[in-house]
Structure 1
Amino acid sequence: MLIKTIFLLFFALSSLPAAPIEKSPFPRPDIVIYNTTDSVTCRNIIRSIQSLHYSQKELDDSMSSKILTKYINTLDISKHFFTKNDIKNFEQIRYKIDNSLLKGDLAHGYIIFNLFLKRSFERFVYIITVLEDWEQKLNFTKNENISLTSEGKPWPKNKNELTRLWKKELKNNILNLKFQKKDNKEISKILKKRYWNRLKRLCKINSKDAFRIYMNAVTTSFDPHSQYFSQSVSDNFDIQMSLSLEGIGVVLQNEFEYTKVVRIIPKGPADKTKKLNPGDKIIGVGQNIKEEIQDIVGWRIDEVVKLIRGPKNTFVRLKIIPANKKGNHDPQIIIIKRDIIKLEEQAAQKKIVEISANKHTYKIGIIHIPTFYRDFKALQNGKKDYKSTTQDVLTILKELKQENINGLIIDLRNNSGGALKEANQLTGLFIKSGPTVQIKSRSGRIAQLNDPDPTIAYNGPLIVMINRMSASASEIFAGAIKDYNRGLIIGTQSFGKGTVQILKTLSRGKLKLTNAKFYRVSGRSTQHQGILPDIEYPYIYNKKVTGESSLKDALLWDMSKQAYFKPYKNFSSILKILKEKHIKRKKQSIGLKYLSERYQLALKTYELKKLSLNEKKRKKQIHSFDKIKINIKNKLLISKELKPINNIKDIDADKIEDDFLLKETEFIMVDFIELIKNKNYHW
């Protein structure tokens, strides 16, 4: 009866007639149907959310509406599959999903998913058919555009509007390949292969995929960090958490038809290349140096992971669309040597620089901390000398003190967090004693982590560097240093992840749920807002697409009770002077101007709403952006007395390794040291 109901509802919702199966030369996806195991797992997920999730939001009509919107956007964010009439039909179930989920009834989700499969099939068939003689059918002199965002756009009225969108998609892909210097024969071959492969993969989609996607629309409606992992995704998650993966050291996720880089694991193979960034989209993967790069657009995440993963000392080539680009006319190819990501390579590292100013030479110690690590296995085995961030930094501090450093910079840029206890203990190296972070459970109970040891490992001038990718444990440490007035925070607004997740094993897969929230000792949450620097630097990462505030349904910033703690003397009397000196240098610094101009161009590119499908106009559009990029780079090259470039392909040929932000931080540290000499600062 259930199967019959799904079939009837599915075809009732579909406004497009199905092509006769026996006459179609194309493989067709099966209709997906849920089973008893899916229903049981669904009920377990819902019960877990209701009893464990921090927000304590009810699964009511309001949440039902949110889940439907989230699910539709997950399947069709670009508005290329569903019509206005489909959306009207979906409205009939907008306030019924909650009651269905409580009973383990997945019919609503599967009906929509089956319609999505049907439209995806029709889209691929249409595009493959047009590709047979696209040179005659498609006109690249027409003045038309392809929209790069669906925000504010109405849903297509009917099938004719859908096919117009599909045609524009194809024209855009053809133009992208034309500007990669591919001839028409190559373009046909590449795109036919791409869309046939995507059609074949569409036909492999099964009930488990539908269940995972639907359940994640449910969990992420409560907050973006609550997720359901199917068994295959769960296995990959376990490997990632163990850090024993032989691969390239990246965390990936599906974003519509693309594979997106979410995080770069510090000191991993990808991190060492300095060419891959969070937000980049991987569109192709090739093995070794010369093998053909496979188009992976539309692939499942587990299939992409299998392709990228491989034995140590072998090479993988990635074709990527950088995060700051719209369209894919100019993808980049990155070669990465696979390796095992070792804990030792993620260890804190030090260096000393000497800066001369006002007839003095100052020694500045710099400690780079890629992650907050702790060798839990060694700790469980009773080893006293287990490897950890705090132990390593303590050793480094002793060495730096012997070198008589005048100031210390702790670099937490791109540090996405790690062991919470390490953030607590590391803070303890710089303060006398007291609380370092507060953790609020869903019941409202507040627990504190404290530094009970009055010993201070370093009591000199301190600066902590952060950026948009500094998250979680990094924000706890930086927030404590800021609240205690123990040091200056310099950089950009941090990520803003101020929540705690637990992992629950289900009969099939795992469930990650947000069950607590972090608060600084001042009572301010790190959630959403992150840590705001005392002195702000130019952004490197687009904060509109990175950070907690860019995530839909992220828990909001709020405050809790202030903990009892004794801050040191604040820096208000000298901070204004430090800012003035920084601004003066910034105006004269070619390096900082370069970073600022590059970021502004990335923002401009990101904010593009449309691309021309007129070949001449598109070429002009691309040339205009390339000219700006070359101009920005040449200002920097000329300042370094290096040869300027003329071709966009040479944009990365002359790598300039200077860390302009770290260099400026060193200058700020010297100003800091000189300003506090007679200001009675003691730590």
Structure 2
Amino acid sequence: MKRFNSLRTTCLVAFFAIGTHAVAEEQPANLDLDSIQPTRDQMVASLNTVELLRRHHYNRIRLDDALSSDIFDGYMRQLDPQRSLFTAEDIQAFEEYRYRLDDLLLAGDLTIGFAMHKRQIERLSQRLEFANSLLDEDLQSLDFSSDQQILADREKAEWVATDIDLLQLWRHQIKDEVLRLKLAGRDMDAIQELLSKRYKGQTLRLTQTRSEDVFQNYINAFAQVYDPHTQYMSPENAENFDINMSLSLEGIGAVLQADEEFTKIVRLVPAGPAAKSQKLAPADRIIAVGQEEKEMVDVVGWRLDEVVKLIRGPKGSNVRLEVIPASNPPTDLSSREVVLVREAVKLEDQAAASSIIKYGSGENEQRIGVIEVPGFYIDFKAQRRGDPEYRSTTRDVRRLLEEMEAENVDGLVLDLRNNGGGSLQEATELTGLFIDRGPTVQVRDTDGQVQVLDDPDAGISYKGPMAVLVNRLSASASEIFAGAMQDYGRALVVGEPTFGKGTVQSIQPLNHGELKLTLAKFYRVSGQSTQNRGVVPDITYPSLLDTTEIGESYLPRALPWDTIEPADYAIGNQVSPFVKRLNERHQLRAANDPEFTYTLARVELDRGIKDREYLPLNEAVRREQQDAFDATLLKLENQRRVARGEEPLKELEETDPLLELNPAVADEDDAEEDPFLAETGQILIDLLELQHQVADAS
């Protein structure tokens, strides 16, 4: 794999317009800051946004001095997330407005927000000018044998005191950039060419900053103090909402978001090109995009909408992505190229699917049915036109359950891993297949009124033992279903704590753009919120993802977990009395399972790398650290391979073993090779045995 390093601490979040102030006063020739002024339409839209949030947002917050301070801090994090553009003097000048932003927003006055952003544009302009001037010099003069080091994460660092200090910080950051590319095996000529193209490209995009970019950033700094899912969308972004959020379903089939200077994959659309490739995973970061056989375009530091436009293209055409795998430790930004064929993702390709895992043989054989539910879908168009064969999650699962009954399965696993949700109606109706009748979820609105959604139909489609398998990317409707199964005692919930998305949003049109705001919260029938904490499994598996950076609890100002009065429901088949003994049996197996032990050891190894506060700018020391990590990783992989009866490796392979374990990219036709799915089936067999023991004793 190629070793790649980014300008880790300097470029702005890709979703936002890129910009800043200068140590010198010279500006790029085409950068006209005077033309960036708020328009009348934007002022009216800001007033409308203020009123909508004050009156209708679920989180009733007063727009006062305290909230003004929060807006100020959020805007600073947005403009300079790694504190590498502004000086302490800049911040002191801004502090005059910390407690005045509320009054200005109430008056529709956007001038201060624009002024702060234009200062940031000036600073970033000078940062890029400095970088380009350094590249024009002889990079060979950079000293990589000193004891210098750089702070790995400057999010909470002190602002640098002076312009001289800022220049020194920028020099260290560029030196770190060059060092990482050297460690990746690139020569100085190649490094100079790559960075020169990147910085000049960022300079060009900076000169194209529009008033609309600045307004969207500023008004979102205000909107997102209410909660992270409340968002203003400009007219252009509102028109292309599906494209911006998920590349539509005609493209590569991946949901993307900005992550500092990178574009990050949030999740893979089931049966889409990205998922089918088995080479991409959630949290992978895209650093370059190529069309067909054309040269790759470096997209580090690009805005999200620009990256999206580059990735999309005609159906049937190829797109090449250079990505940094999520499984890499933070200091190892190795990259690989993935070639995808753009295509539309059809509903039937995403439909629920079934398989059977067999345990034992002969008379002792036990069969566990598996139904994978990629999303909560319904073909509304076919339903509205009266098509009796319209597709939906509940209809498909009901049919698969009938097939499972015919196969005489001993238990059932409903696999909701990486299921990001979908139709609330389908989550309710699917719950109804496994309970007789009763409430399925509660929804509390802005006024505190609680609506209880229920399953009114008597009868159960499947009465046998059951487990629901979830992971960190199981969200929204998945959490509603899993929570209901747990509350009713109907199924074991197994896997990782889920995402924690327990809020409801609505799109409100404005005179200029649209506002997505949170109007309600979901609650389980037990009265617990699914918000923030998600659904906590009865039996927990180690996570394949860095859960500290994925999930609702990671998002700033996420609404809290809380409770309301429980609904009136009857607990059915209780599995809770068996959970402790099931956990004990699982832990004994996991201690000797090569996949579980590898995952736990890998998580610990990666955490040790991530916890490093400083990175050395000494080439020999950095190489020593990388070699030590690779040696440990090779040792872990060989322990795993030997335990599986495979030949050990002499050196690391390009494909990371964690990809093999990730259900988003694993071979869906080989369920028995999925260690977490196989273990879930084994837990169900344990449950059957314990239930039989209780029945015999009684």
Tell me if both proteins adopt one fold, taking TM over 0.5 as the criterion. yes
Q: Does 1:450 align with 2:450?
A: no
Which of 402, 406, 412 pairs up with 2:416?
412
Match of 2:295 among 275, 292, 296: 292
Q: Which residue of 2 aligns with 1:4?
A: none
The answer to whether residue 682 in structure 2 is matched with residue 667 in structure 1 is: yes
Give yes or no for contact 1:279–1:545 (8 Å, CA) kept in 2. no
Q: Give the structure 1 partner of residue 25 of structure 2.
A: 19
| Selected match of 1:305 from 303, 308, 319 | 308
Q: Is the 8 A contact 1:411 1:466 kept in 2?
A: yes
CA contact (8 A) 1:180 1:329 kept: no
Q: Which moved more, 1:504-513 or 1:600-609?
A: 600-609
CA deviations 1:503-541 (Å, max 9, x no partner) are 112233221111000000000000011101111111112
Instruction: Read off the aligned partner of 1:450 and give its amino acid letter.
Output: D
CA drift at 1:488: 0.5
How far apart, in 2, do the equivalents of 1:464 and 1:102 lie?
A: 48
Tell me the equivalent position of 2:42.
38
Distance 1:604 1:330 in 2: 18
What are structure 1's unaligned runs of at least 5 residues? 1-13
SS state of the match for residue 462, structure 2? coil
Shift of 1:680: 5.4
Matches within 5 A, 1:142-291: 142-239=146-243, 245-288=249-292, 290-291=293-294
Secondary structure, counterpart of 2:388 in structure 1: coil
Matched, 1:472 2:476: yes
The equivalent of 2:669 in structure 1 is none
- Output aligned runs, 1:349-364, within 5 Å: 349-356=353-360, 360-364=364-368
Q: 1:347-496 maps to which residues of 2 (within 5 A)?
A: 347-356=351-360, 360-496=364-500
In structure 2, what is the equivalent of residue 515 of structure 1?
Answer: 519
Tell me by how many angstroms 1:142 deviates: 1.2
Verify: 1:611 aligned to 2:615, yes or no: yes
CA distance in 1, matches of 2:69, 2:287: 33
CA distance in 2 between counterparts of 1:257 and 1:542 reads 19
Shift of 1:15: 8.7
Q: Secondary structure at the match of 1:319?
A: strand
Question: Shift in Å at residue 240 of structure 1?
Answer: 6.7
Answering whether residue 334 of structure 2 is matched by residue 330 of structure 1, we say yes
Q: Is the 8 A contact 1:232 1:302 kept in 2?
A: no
Q: Which residue of 2 aligns with 1:7?
A: none
**Which is bigger in relative contact order (C-alpha 8 A, separation at least 6)?**
2
- Conserved 8 A contact 1:357-1:670: no
TM-score scaled by length of structure 2:
0.91
Instruction: Supply the AA of the counterpart residue of 2:690.
Output: L
Check 1:17–1:677 CA distance in 2 against 1; reply closer, same or farther (3 A cut).
closer
Distance in 1 (CA, whole Å) between partners of 2:376 and 2:658 is: 33
1:545 matched to which residue of 2? 549
Is the aligned partner of 1:315 residue 2:318? yes
In 1, the alpha carbon distance for the partners of 2:228 and 2:546 equals 19
Alpha-carbon contact 1:215-1:228 (below 8 Å) kept: yes
1:576 positional shift = 1.8
Change (3 A) 1:569 1:340: closer
Q: Which residue of 2 aligns with 1:559?
A: 563
- 2:31 paired residue number: 28
1:16 is displaced (CA, Å) by: 5.7
CA distance in 2, matches of 1:487, 1:381: 36
Q: CA deviation at 1:258?
A: 2.0
* Preserved contact between residue 523 and residue 561 of structure 1 (Cα < 8 Å): yes
Amino acid at match of 2:600: S
| Equivalent position SS for 2:505 | strand
1:322: Cα distance to partner?
Answer: 2.9
- Note the C-alpha offset of 1:653: 8.9
Aligned to 2:13: none
The 3 A distance-change label for structure 1 pair 113 and 241 is closer
Deviates most, 473-482 or 589-598: 589-598
Q: What residue is the counterpart of 1:10 in the other structure?
A: none
Contact 1:227 1:513 in 2 (8 A): yes
**C-alpha distance in 1 between matches for 2:187 and 2:506:** 52
What's the secondary structure of 2:33's corresponding residue? coil
Output one character per residue of 1:149-196: Cα deviation in whole Å (capped at 9) or x when no partner. 124411010111111111112111111221222111111111111101
The 10-residue stretch of structure 1 (245-254 or 436-445) with the greater mean CA deviation from structure 2: 245-254
Distance 1:610 1:380, change over 3 A: farther
Name the Cα RMSD after superposition. Answer: 2.1
1:209-235 Cα offsets, whole Å, 9 max, x none, are: 111111111111110011111222223
| Structure 2, unaligned runs of 5 or more | 1-19, 661-665, 667-672
The percent identity for this pair of structures is: 41
SS in 2 for 1:546: coil
- Superposition deviation, residue 281 in structure 1: 2.0
Give 1:652 deviation, angstroms. Answer: 4.0
Give SS of 1:450's match.
Answer: strand
Work out which of the residue numbers 597, 602, 605 in structure 2 matches 1:598: 602
Between the aligned partners of 1:452 and 1:212, the Cα distance in structure 2 is: 45
- What does the per-residue CA deviation read over 1:476-527, in whole Å, with 9 as the maximum and x for residues that have no partner? 0000000000010000111111100111122332211110000000000000
Question: TM-score of the superposition, structure 1-length normalised?
Answer: 0.93
Shift of the alpha carbon at 1:598? Answer: 2.0
SS at 2:360 equivalent = strand
- SS of structure 2 residue aligned to 1:636: helix
Residues 526, 567 of structure 2: 8 Å contact kept = yes
Quickly say closer, same or farther: Cα 1:655–1:499, change in 2 above 3 A. Answer: closer
- Please say which of residues 187-196 and 328-337 is displaced more in the overlay: 328-337
Residues 298-307 or 552-561, more deviating: 298-307
Query: C-alpha offsets along residues 96-146 of structure 1, whole Å, 9 cap, x if unaligned?
Result: 101111121111111110000000000000010011124254211111112
